[in-house]
Structure 1
Amino acid sequence: MSATNKVAFVTGAARGLGLATAGKFLDDGWRVVMLDILGDTLRAAAKDLDKPGEILTIEADVSDPAAVHKAVQQARQHFGRIDALVNNAGIAVFKPILEVTLEDWQKVLATNLTGPFLMVQAVAPIMRDQGGGAVVNITSISGLRASTLRVAYGTSKAGLAHLTKQQAAELGEYGIRVNAVAPGPVDTAMAKAVHTPEIRADYHDHIPLNRYGLESELANAIYFLCGDQSTYITGQVLCVDGGFDGTGIGLPTLRGQRRNS
């Protein structure tokens, strides 16, 4: 099937990585369903993309089972098929572990872990009946290595990494591939707002490539896992992090020694 007939469904598509991913699919000739809970922001973003016949916007909460079912059926009725699902919608609560409330915990897990579960449950039968498809769950380096202030967020993303493997193991027989992308530090508007110069310097010191990633670089990895160049890849978690996950604690000192030698 040519890309011009294919349909990608991207959650959390109103801004940031989700919007960059939607744009990547559109640039390569796909039609795109853009879903987000931020309706006004979503519609404004879709308008800026300026491809009205190729975009369907849906305002919905991925943690709401009824809303997910309605959104997926609306997408199917509008475009007739769903070839790729990108579970990007997510939230974070950054608090010390002893200050995280049960409400905080449940809200984060509902969006970040239950949301992708519900989305795949709704989309997989459509993919099965049409002969296959691809799912990419957006987890995080925070799900692979622990950090402060991320007890709910990191745990939800760790759960999502395992959910990816479960989904891949059980859906492969239907021709549905399921993989995950784990972003490292990315130069998003949120990162620019909350990462102080000191935090940015710390990250740079622990990333072999010595910089933050770009949303476009993440979108390229997501697109690859959804496309025809990755048809024998499933059940994998791809870190797109400049090498951050693979380094130990000595990198800053070694760099300093090299600069001083």
Structure 2
Amino acid sequence: MSKSANPGSGVIITGGASGIGLASAEALAEVGRPVAIWDINTERSVAVAADLADRFGVATVGVGVDLSAMANIAPALEQTRAALPSIGGLVHAAGISLAVPVAEMTEAQWDAVLNVNLKALPFMVQQLRSLLATQPGSAIVAIASINATLGNQMNPAYTASKGGMLSLVRSLADDLARDGIRINSVTPGYILTPMMQPVVEHLEPGHFERPVMLGRMGAPREVASAVRFLLSDDASYITAAELVVDGGTIASQRTR
């Protein structure tokens, strides 16, 4: 992707210190976009921001923020605005995956997952909207999951949060379009992230690869490329869409 296809405004990446969030931050910094790394791990977010600034020569900031409480959004945004020249994008990659079935689920566990994965998105949009509206090409990408479509008895809260995200993105798209702001979702399949690594090691070899048409797990950078595209001017007529990056898993009839 050419640098000219990307707006020059800064992008906030939640969960930006690891996994898909980190890969997305790298992909954006690579084409010259300033980035704010929002992550619950403050030390890690600061370190990642410093590394990206050193490698790509862009303005960065690392912000420690716990998105389970909506009151934490405003101070994180204030710190970001002080460090970046502008804000024209948001990637909501922060998420909690809690493998607890319904029979064992507590209300606190349910709320912990839904608050970060789903509830934080509209409240970040609420506070970012006026800033995004001033930047040509502003766009938002929400990271969903194939679990929004495929049933998963072991992870009902995560599944519900990602299914809700797909519907929420369509609703927000209808609203934000009035200000020229696009919003889309990216649905990753089985991606080998630090969060997935322990699960992969626990299960038998080939467990996740078996149902994938392409026969392998994906890499975070492959999802990040889709994120970067949707934030670029190359996607200027795309909003309310779900871009599936799953190697053909959802469409597969292979034995799971």
Task: Output the amino acid matched with 2:174.
Answer: A
Select between 63-72 and 161-170 the one with higher mean Cα deviation.
63-72
**By how many angstroms is 1:132 displaced?**
5.1
Aligned-residue sequence identity (percent) comes to 33
Cα RMSD for the two superposed structures: 2.0
The structure with higher relative contact order (CA 8 Å, sep 6+) is 2
Taking structure 2 as the reference length, what is the TM-score of the superposition?
Answer: 0.91
Which runs of no fewer than 5 residues in structure 2 stay unpaired? none
Taking structure 1 as the reference length, what is the TM-score of the superposition?
Answer: 0.90
Q: Within 1, Cα distance between the matches of 2:255 and 2:148?
A: 23
- Structure 1 residues 204 and 224: alpha-carbon distance in aligned structure 2, compared to 1, 3 A threshold: same
1:106-121 aligned at under 5 Å gives the runs 106-121=111-126
Secondary structure of 2:66 counterpart: coil
**By how many angstroms is 1:195 displaced?**
2.0
Task: Output the amino acid matched with 1:100.
Answer: M
- On the 8 A contact 2:7/2:136 being kept in 1, the answer is no
* Alignment equivalent of 2:61, drawn from 51, 56, 60: 56
Aligned residue pairs, count = 251
* Alignment equivalent of 1:225, drawn from 230, 252, 255: 230
Report what 1:244 is aligned to: 249
Task: Output the amino acid matched with 2:248.
Answer: G
1:1-261 aligned at under 5 Å gives the runs 3=6, 5-51=8-54, 54-131=59-136, 133-196=138-201, 198=203, 200-248=205-253, 251-252=254-255
Which runs of no fewer than 5 residues in structure 1 stay unpaired? 254-261
Secondary structure of 2:178 counterpart: helix
Task: Output the amino acid matched with 1:16.
Answer: G
**By how many angstroms is 1:22 displaced?**
0.6
**By how many angstroms is 1:106 displaced?**
0.6
- On the 8 A contact 2:48/2:62 being kept in 1, the answer is no
Deviations 1:58-106 (CA, angstroms, capped at 9, x unpaired) = 1112232222112223322332421110011111110122011111001
- Structure 1 residues 188 and 200: alpha-carbon distance in aligned structure 2, compared to 1, 3 A threshold: farther
**By how many angstroms is 1:11 displaced?**
0.6
